[in-house]
Amino acid sequence: MRVLVTGGAGYIGSVTSAELLRRGHDVRVLDDLSTGHREAVAAEAAFFEGRVQDREVVDAALEGGVDAVIHFASLSLVGDSVRQPRHYFHENLGSALSLLSAMDRARVRRLVFSSSAAVYGQPEVEVIDEDLPLAPVNPYGHTKAMIETILQEEARARGLSAVALRYFNACGADGRLGEDHSPETHLIPRLCQHLLGRLEDFEVFGSDYPTADGSAVRDYVHVKDLAAAHAAALEVLGDPGLVALNLGTGRGASVLEVLRAAAEVSGTELRAPAGPRRPGDPPRLVASRARAEAHLGWVPRHSELVTILRDAFRWHREYPEGYGAAS
Ligand SMILES: NC(=O)c1ccc[n+]([C@@H]2O[C@H](COP(=O)([O-])OP(=O)(O)OC[C@H]3O[C@@H](n4cnc5c(N)ncnc54)[C@H](O)[C@@H]3O)[C@@H](O)[C@H]2O)c1
């Protein structure tokens, strides 16, 4: 298949592009490098530098026939979205709408969309399944939920075939590809930087949650497993409609469990002070993965906590500057 990957210079997009190339797909990457890295794009992929909102560059990227699009490109910092909601709605909805128009012009009907567990907000359930009502609690989550609604309506009106993949916590690394965000807000890369002496302040947010050890519980899924799910999603596209699928492991891990796994793989003693809860952080977010398994035959194979931490730590040790100052 010929696949256009928007945001393919970013963390999950680059690992997915590499996986698609390994499976023999023809990959085109469109990215404005706002948070991504040119070095993360495989030499075998055609690269189009520009914004998804830029008609000229998207039309060029779709020229000559593309079978499907995977849309990763997005602003995705929750805190930023709370501080500048209009900017987030403008960017995330604007890029999705521009992309859909361009796909229409090029007669491309298949789309895989990067959604998020943020569409669920703060549900008080042990395990989140896709039938739970969407109730985002920040502008970032709202943009993802609104784009899902747009896709549903486009499917009805124009025969779009779409899969929305709601990722839980993406983490880990794949060979030379890893997580290099600035600022870095995610637990595991921050922890790796801390263990390598590159990040001084490290605290655990919240020690009084109603969980077994008092720290927050999340569902950590290896980026290689996410990439495999995207490849599988391409295979099921065809019939008009939107299917929304959680990508998580179905198992939760507390922050303290993550810390213990990190200490184990790094062989380093770890003492992290407990700070206050972060506003808006729910105690527990764990996915049901039954629907992804039923629709895609997807089973996570790399998402054991120790595997995730080993891969992430190795990447940060090998690439302490991330992709480097050049990007
Ligand atoms: N990382 C996670 O844990 C996680 C969890 C849930 C959902 N997601 C979603 O997955 C997707 C990828 O996340 P990531 O962690 O790889 O993020 P990332 O920031 O590493 O990648 C996003 C890429 O999109 C590019 N981009 C952004 N806006 C663009 C635009 N308007 N035009 C062209 N390119 C643009 C950036 O340069 C970057 O390369 C995002 O949609 C994000 O919201 C991520």
Distance 317 CA to ligand 1 centre (A): 23
Question: How many whole angstroms from 180 Cα to the centroid of ligand 1?
Answer: 11
Instruction: Tell whether 139 is covered by a domain.
Output: yes
Q: Which residues pair with 126 in a beta bridge?
A: none
Instruction: Specify the pLDDT at position 271.
Output: 82
52 pLDDT above the threshold of 80: yes
Please report whether residue 180 resides in a domain.
no
Residue 242, pLDDT score: 98
Number of neighbouring beta carbons within 10 Å of residue 183: 8
How many Å lie between the centroid of ligand 1 and the Cα of residue 183? Answer: 13
In a domain, 129, yes or no: yes
Binding-site residues, ligand 1, Cβ < 6 A: 6-7, 9-13, 31-36, 51-53, 72-74, 76, 95, 114, 116, 167, 169-170, 181
Residue 29: closest CA among 57, 54, 64? 57
pTM of the model: 0.97
* Rounded distance between C-alpha atoms, residue 60 and residue 166, angstroms: 29
Catalytic residue among 88, 140, 209, 323: 140
One domain for residues 140 and 163? yes
pLDDT tens sequence across 240-251 = 999 999 999 999
**pLDDT above 90: residue 325:** no
Please check whether residue 262 lies inside any domain of the structure: yes
Handedness of CA 93, 97, 103, 108 (dihedral sign): positive
- pLDDT exceeds cutoff 80 at 177: yes
The answer to whether residues 229 and 295 belong to one domain is: no
Tokens standing for 64? 């000559």
Q: In this structure, are 309 and 201 located in the same domain?
A: yes
> For this structure, is 140 an active site residue?
yes
The reply to whether 323 falls in a domain is no
Distance from first CA to last CA of the chain, Å, rounded?
A: 29
Q: Note whether 210 and 241 are same-domain residues.
A: no
Q: Are residues 116 and 203 in the same domain?
A: no
- DSSP letters of 79-97? HHHHH-HHHHIIIIIHHHH
Ligand 1, atom 9, lies closest to the CA of 114
- DSSP class of 267: T
* CATH number of the domain enclosing 303: 3.90.25.10
Query: Average pLDDT, stretch 113-119?
Result: 98
In this predicted structure, the answer to whether residue 231 has a pLDDT above a threshold of 80 is yes
> Among residues 101, 18, 111, 25, which one has the least CA distance to residue 58?
101
Q: Is the pLDDT of residue 326 over 90?
A: no
**Domain tally, the chain:** 2
Residue of minimum CA distance from atom 1 in ligand 1 = 170
Residue that the structure tokens 């026939």 belong to: 65
The token duo for 74 is 């997005």
Ligand 1 atom at minimum distance from 144 CA? 43
Cα(131) to ligand 1 centroid in Å equals 25
Q: Which domain holds residue 104?
A: 2-170+221-247
Rounded percentage of the chain residues whose pLDDT exceeds 70 = 99
Within this chain, do residues 105 and 196 fall inside the same structural domain, yes or no? no
Q: Are residues 160 and 210 in the same domain?
A: no
Q: What is the CATH number of the domain that holds 153?
A: 3.40.50.720
* 8, 16, 17 from 45: Cα distances, Å: 10, 12, 8
The answer to whether 205 touches 275, Cβ cutoff 8 Å, is: yes
Examine the domain organization and report whether 149 and 213 are in the same domain: no
Do 205 and 227 fall into the same domain? Answer: no
Domain assignment present for residue 327? The answer is: no
Pocket perturbation via mutation, ligand 1, pick of 5, 57, 76, 77 by most ligand atoms within 8 A of CB: 76
**Does one domain contain both 82 and 135?**
yes
Cα torsion through 307, 312, 313, 318, rounded to 10: 130
Model confidence over 134-154: pLDDT tens digits?
999 999 999 999 999 999 999
Residue 66 lies in a domain: yes
- Choice between 185 and 255, residue whose per-residue pLDDT is larger: 255
Express each pLDDT in 244-276 by its tens digit.
999 999 999 999 999 999 999 999 888 888 999
Residue 24 shares a structural domain with residue 153: yes
Query: What is the arithmetic mean of pLDDT over 32-59?
Result: 98
226 and 291 part of one domain: no
Query: Residue 119 pLDDT more than 80?
Result: yes
Is 109 in contact with 47 (CB distance < 8 Å)? no
Query: Is 264 among the domain residues?
Result: yes
